[in-house]
Structure 1
């Protein structure tokens, strides 16, 4: 799945400040214009020709590229597993990792890696671009340069400054499993409405140390990679039909449902809707309630419209993003198989800063 590693020539002497592995999966960042003016992927081994500033880092930088680059719209759990295994297999060799990824499903990928790499002690920084690296006004240069700098940043004790999975985009560093893509044409593509920024870049990079995840003492990396994609998303909207709800909930072989509700977790109280959700739970499906709002959280029971769901066993997703909820459900279903109660418990338990339950 990967090409052989390529070492990028930099200003590093015999004692580089850090060693980084860049994992190149595809996406807009790595696109250039060919002679006919069409966008095509470029060979990342030639990155210094596009961003000469990379050569000024006193870092050992190695690139590992997918053999077949992908548009992130085509990303699947297999993609996340490939990235995760690349990090696992090279974990002891490098101080940090930068993942170049398309923006459309970057939040899903970053969420997945955060759940896969439990007890992470090194940075895994996802980045990409809204404009190709070959464009005149591209944001690719700044995003990649800053991601490299953050991935190599160390504290006074020599440990990583940001030992978690994050997304760097448009001068801001966000927790990966808290981020959501909110723009398709502006450079500030991602927001993290329910969690503060981890860092903000200006003349200097200012780190929000109190917001950065602290690894537990005495723990080693725990790699989790079993995903069960038999999950559906049921998004509520006014005027939805009984047939729509029942069809989604009755898709064959479904094991989990992410229910995207209104406001603080509210849903209709129509008898047919309640009966459809209750039937799904009775059949053994796990139903997780998350809000359609960009900010705020689910508070089941605050209003009568959500009290019924609390009573029938719908799980409270608190302030999980929809992206993180879907990926987390796939992982816990894959990990626990038929152990439904264990899967339910883990879904409502914070694993790596993805949710606040208080």
Structure 2
């Protein structure tokens, strides 16, 4: 007989963990030790749930690389004790954290599912209970004595997505996230419909390897009509800058102004890694398709293909922290490591 599935719930902060003080109307942090008491529905789940909280829960707007390391370390520490992990996180930067953790947790063979909510758990119309309960169910899904989900995911409003494919698209709707370049992995209806063909599977039976060095000497520059040379140079000349995500137009297009091309060329010659990512919500960079991207291609700008900005910036932090050689950097970035790009 298969033993009961153990799930670790990690609360980092965010709206989902807030309850309303009905006397003052203020929101305060939820006591997760009283989880079963506050959400009795969890007792119906056929798994054991243990919770651990950050000592000081944080708003996800304050999330940084040190918090990602804390999460990765918690998962590493408890990896052999639990069958799956659910991380409760504020929705604002959840796609960044989910993307970062996907790189940091190499050879993952268990689910790490991020979720949160738009309304606090104690609110009358909250989306928190459904998101939390289904995330735990998904983390506990097993077939042939192994986890169905073996990657870092994000669950919100009846859909499970690969975390490094997501973007937050709405601050008010319950459907806060989208994965425009990759299908959802599971749809939650009367049944949980698993899209098995799109699940990520590691190629080797290697043990979990946790990477804890993330180099944040990176930046994002979004192109816009009227961008001037002074602004571009102020970004390119940022002290210690090692990599730049350049959000271009459409399929990877940029102005053909001589000063723009020359400044980018010089920055690359001095060792800056520049990644071409489209600022469109969906679609892919196709460098060389138009004259306005041919020059970027000639400069050997890294092709971001259909990667999200969130997955691109965290991938740069990860690769820079992993001491990838300058010669191999472009090739490795353009290779899908955790299913983050097509």
Does the TM-score normalized on the shorter chain lie above 0.5?
Answer: yes
Q: How does 1:2-17 map to 2 (within 5 A)?
A: 17=4
Is the CA contact 1:133–1:139 (under 8 Å) kept in the aligned structure 2? yes
Give CA deviations for 1:210-247 in whole Å, capped at 9, x if unaligned.
00112223222121121110001010011112111111
Q: 1:306 aligns with which of 286, 293, 296?
A: 293
> What is the aligned length?
341
Query: What's the CA shift for 1:328?
Result: 0.3
Query: What's the CA shift for 1:343?
Result: 2.7
Alpha-carbon distance between aligned partners in 1 of 2:310 and 2:291, rounded to the nearest angstrom: 27
Query: Counterpart in 2 of 1:4?
Result: none
Q: 2:19 aligns with which of 32, 36, 44?
A: 32
* Partner SS, residue 99 of structure 1: strand
Alpha-carbon distance between aligned partners in 2 of 1:342 and 1:43, rounded to the nearest angstrom: 47
User: Which deviates more, 190-199 or 237-246?
Assistant: 237-246
**Runs of 4+ more than 4 Å apart:** none
Alpha-carbon distance between aligned partners in 2 of 1:15 and 1:70, rounded to the nearest angstrom: 37
Q: 1:125 aligns with which of 87, 108, 113?
A: 113
Q: How does 1:169-180 map to 2 (within 5 A)?
A: 169-180=156-167
CA-atom RMSD in angstroms:
1.2
Query: What's the CA shift for 1:15?
Result: 7.1
Query: Counterpart in 1 of 2:330?
Result: 344
Alpha-carbon distance between aligned partners in 2 of 1:88 and 1:31, rounded to the nearest angstrom: 27
Q: 1:187 aligns with which of 174, 177, 193?
A: 174
Query: What's the CA shift for 1:16?
Result: 5.3
* Partner SS, residue 160 of structure 2: strand
Alpha-carbon distance between aligned partners in 2 of 1:330 and 1:265, rounded to the nearest angstrom: 22
Query: What's the CA shift for 1:344?
Result: 2.5
Structure 2, unaligned runs of 5 or more: none
Query: Counterpart in 1 of 2:55?
Result: 67
Is the CA contact 1:16–1:58 (under 8 Å) kept in the aligned structure 2? no
* Partner SS, residue 119 of structure 2: coil
Query: Counterpart in 2 of 1:88?
Result: 76
Alpha-carbon distance between aligned partners in 2 of 1:56 and 1:228, rounded to the nearest angstrom: 43
Query: What's the CA shift for 1:292?
Result: 0.5
Give CA deviations for 1:335-358 in whole Å, capped at 9, x if unaligned.
116x212333221111010001xx
Query: Counterpart in 1 of 2:141?
Result: 153
Is the CA contact 1:16–1:59 (under 8 Å) kept in the aligned structure 2? no
Q: 2:250 aligns with which of 259, 263, 284?
A: 263
Query: Counterpart in 1 of 2:236?
Result: 249
* Partner SS, residue 22 of structure 1: strand
Query: Counterpart in 2 of 1:203?
Result: 190
Is the CA contact 1:231–1:330 (under 8 Å) kept in the aligned structure 2? yes
Alpha-carbon distance between aligned partners in 1 of 2:326 and 2:166, rounded to the nearest angstrom: 28
* Partner SS, residue 237 of structure 1: coil
Query: Counterpart in 2 of 1:9?
Result: none
Structure 1, unaligned runs of 5 or more: 1-13
Query: What's the CA shift for 1:58?
Result: 2.4
Alpha-carbon distance between aligned partners in 1 of 2:230 and 2:45, rounded to the nearest angstrom: 58
Is the CA contact 1:107–1:179 (under 8 Å) kept in the aligned structure 2? yes
1:355 aligned onto 2:341: yes
- TM-score when normalising by structure 2: 0.97
Alpha-carbon distance between aligned partners in 1 of 2:316 and 2:332, rounded to the nearest angstrom: 9
